[in-house]
Amino acid sequence: MSRKIIIDTDPGQDDAVAILLALASPELDVVGITAVAGNVPLALTSVNSLKMCELAKRTEVPVFAGCDRPLQRELVTAEYVHGKSGIDGALLPDPVMELQPQHAVDWLVQTLEGSDGDITLCTLGPLTNVGAALQRSPHIAGKIQQLVLMGGGFFEGGNTTPAAEFNIYVDPHAADIVFSAGIDLVMMPLDVTHKALITAPRLDSFGALGTPVGDAVHGMLDFYERFDLEKYGTEGGPLHDPTVIAYLLQPELFSGRRCNVAVETQSELTMGMTVVDWWHVTDLPTNCMVMRDIDDAGFFELLLERLGRL
C-alpha cells in the first residue's frame, strides 16, 4: 500500500529533483502539490511545479498555488542561487497543465480535515502554507501523520545568515507555528544536506541516463551547484530537498536523534535560527526527529535508480 503524501514546495532546482523522485516512486501516492513563494516568487514556483509533473508524465497530480509572501515579513527570494526562473539549466516548455482554482491553504485544510490521519506532509520550502493552514484550523495538526521537512541547521549554522537556513529564515513565524503544533516532525537540516554533495561523477551519471528527465536534472544541477561550489569550496554542491523524499523511501539512509527544536522569531541577529537541544541540556519536551548523518552514496544510488524510471 502506498503512502499518501502532499508536497509543499518552492521549486528551485533541488525541489524539482525532489518532486521527480516522489513521482517516480510507486511507494508514494502524491495526493497533491502546493506551491509557495520562496526560492522565486509564487508565479514561478507554481509553474515550475506544473513543469515537473509534465516532465514526469504525471499530469493527473493536482497543483495548487498558495501564499505569495510570508505570514509577517517581506518575501526574501534566492534568484542568485536558482536563476531567474528558479530552475535555470533546464529548457522545458511552458506547461499545458493548469493550476487548480482552489487556494493551496484552503485545499490543505479541506484535504486534511477529510482525511483519516494518513497523509504525510513533505515540505521543501518556507512553511508559510502549512503555518497558515494551522492558524486557520489548528485541529488539523492531529490529522497529519507526519511532517518531514528540509530546513534549519545546528552544528552547520545557517546558509542565509550565520544563524539561519533559507527555508526557515524566509518565514520563521510559520516555522514556529509548525514546530509548536505537536506534529510528528522529521527535520533534514543543513547538517545532513551538506553531506549529500553533487560531485562531478554523480552529476555526469544523471546526464548519462540519456532521457529527457536525465537531461533536465543534469542541466538544473549543473547550474545550481555553481553558487555553492564557490561558496563552500567543496567537491560538489549540496543537494537539499530530495533528502525529504529519500527518507520516506529508505529511512535507513539517515540517522539522528529526537530533540527539542525551537525557532527564533524575535532577534534580528538570529531570526529564523533553529535552536536544537541536541545534548538535551533543557527539560523541554522533544518535538522533532533531527537527522545529522546520511549514507550519501546510497542516497545518490536511490536517486539515480528512480529518476531512471521516468
**Exposure string over 112-147, b if 16+ CB within 10 A, otherwise e:** beebeeebbbbbbbbbbbbbbbbeebeebbebbbbb
Annotated domain spans of the chain: 3-307
Is 3-307 assigned to CATH 3.10.20.30? no
Which of 192, 194, 180 has the alpha carbon at shortest distance from 260?
180
Cα–Cα distance measured from residue 42 to residue 189, given in angstroms and rounded to the nearest whole number: 24
Beta strands in the chain (DSSP E): 3-9, 28-35, 63-65, 119-123, 144-150, 185-188, 197-198, 237-238, 254-259, 261-263, 274-276, 288-294
Cα–Cα distance measured from residue 169 to residue 175, given in angstroms and rounded to the nearest whole number: 9
Q: Is 212 helix (H, G, I), strand (E, B) or coil?
A: helix
CB atoms under 10 Å from CB of 154, counted, come to 20
Residue 41 DSSP label: -
Locus of grid cell 499545458: 96
Beta bridge pairs of residue 237: 198
Report percent pLDDT > 90 for the chain.
Answer: 93
Low-confidence ranges of the chain (pLDDT < 70): 225-234
Give burial (CB, 10 Å; 0-12/13-18/19+) of 183: buried
Interacting residues of 216 by C-beta distance below 8 A, sequence separation 6+: 55, 90, 92
Res 1: pLDDT: 77
Choose, from 82, 103, 240, 280, the residue flagged as catalytic: 240
CA distances from 250 to 74, 128, 271 (A): 37, 27, 33
Residue 240 falls in the annotated catalytic set: yes
| pTM for this model (two decimals) | 0.96
pLDDT digits 0-9 by tens, 181-208? 999 999 999 999 999 999 999 999 999 9
Q: What values do phi and psi take at 155, rounded to 5?
A: -65, -30
Cα 90-93-94 angle, rounded to 5 deg: 120
Locus of grid cell 509548525: 178
Cα–Cα distance measured from residue 302 to residue 55, given in angstroms and rounded to the nearest whole number: 19
First-last CA distance in the chain: 21
